[in-house]
Amino acid sequence: MTAMKRRGRLPWLAPGVLVGSLAPAVAIVMRARSGGLGANPIAEALNELGLVALVLLIASLALTPLRTVFEWGWPIRIRRLVGLLAFFYAALHVSVYAGLDQAFDWRAIAADVSKRKFIFVGFAAFTLLIPLAVTSTNASVRRMGYVKWSRLHTLVYPAALLAVIHFVWRVKKDIREPMVYGLILGTLLLVRSHSPFAIDARTDQAVEWLSPRHCAPASRLTSRVFQIS
C-alpha cells in the first residue's frame, strides 16, 4: 500500500494551519498597539505583511510538488486554505498601503503605481491573485469545469514571480533574502514541470478538490474567515 493510500484524516491539520498562519497578523496588531513596530510602524507592518503573504504563497506552490514527489495526501488537502491565507495577507498588505500609508488618496496611489516600478509589479501580483481567491470554491470548479479552472489558476505562477520581483525591487541593495525566495520558487517550478507524477497529480488533484470528504473541513474554515461561498 502506497503512502498516498495510507493517509490519515488528520482533523487537526486545517485548523492548525489556520491558527498558525493568523498568528503573525495578531502579533503585528499587538505590537502596533504597544508601540513595538519601531519608528515607522506603517512601513514595518507593510514589510511584515508582505513577507508573510509571499511565504504563504510559495508554501501553497510547494504543496503539490510535496504530494507528487513523496506521495503524501495531506498537502493537497490544505493547499486551498494556504492559498487563501496568502491572499488574505496580500489584501492586508495592500489595505495598509492604501489606507494607512496613502490615506485612500487615489490620485497619490495612482501616481505611486505608475512611477515606482516595485509598487506597480506588487499591484500586478495582487490583481492576478484576486480571480484565484474568488474562484477558490468547489462550486467554482464545478461551474467552470476542472480544465478551465486549472488553466485560470496557473496565474498563481506569474503572481508569485511578480511578488518576488516586488520584494527584490523593494529592498534595492541587499537582495539576498528575496533571491532566496526566488530560488525556492524556481526550484518548485522545475520540480513541478519535470516530475514524473505531474499528470497523475493533476488528475488526483481534481478528485481531491471535488471530494466532500477532503474539501469540506477546509471549505468550512475558509468560508468562515474570508466569507467566500
The pLDDT tens digits of the residues spanning 53-92 come to 999 999 999 998 888 888 888 998 999 999 999 999 999 9
Closest CA relative to residue 88, chosen from 25, 140, 154: 25
Sign of CA dihedral 194, 195, 200, 206: negative
How much is the mean pLDDT over the chain? 85
- 65-74: per-residue pLDDT in tens? 888 888 888 9
Rounded Cα distance, 200 and 74, in Å? 16
Alpha carbon distance 72, 95 (integer Å):
36
- Contact yes or no for 136/84 (Cβ under 8 A): yes
**b/e code 16-48 from CB counts within 10 Å (16+ = b):** ebbeebeebbeebeebeeeeebeeeeeebbbbb
Q: What is the pLDDT of residues 156-176, one digit of tens each?
A: 999 999 999 999 999 877 889
Residue among 131, 136, 26, 14 at smallest CA distance from 83? 136
Extents of the domains making up the chain: 13-226
pLDDT at 195: 56
Which pLDDT tens digit goes with each residue over 8-41? 578 999 999 999 999 999 999 999 999 999 999 9
As a whole number of angstroms, the distance between CA 227 and CA 220 comes to 10
DSSP E strands: which ranges in 11-100?
Answer: none
Which three-class secondary structure state does DSSP give residue 30? helix
Instruction: Tell me how crowded residue 144 is: count the other CB atoms within 10 A of its CB.
Output: 15
The residues, any chain, with a CB within 8 Å of residue 215's CB and separated by 6 or more, are 77, 80, 138, 208, 209
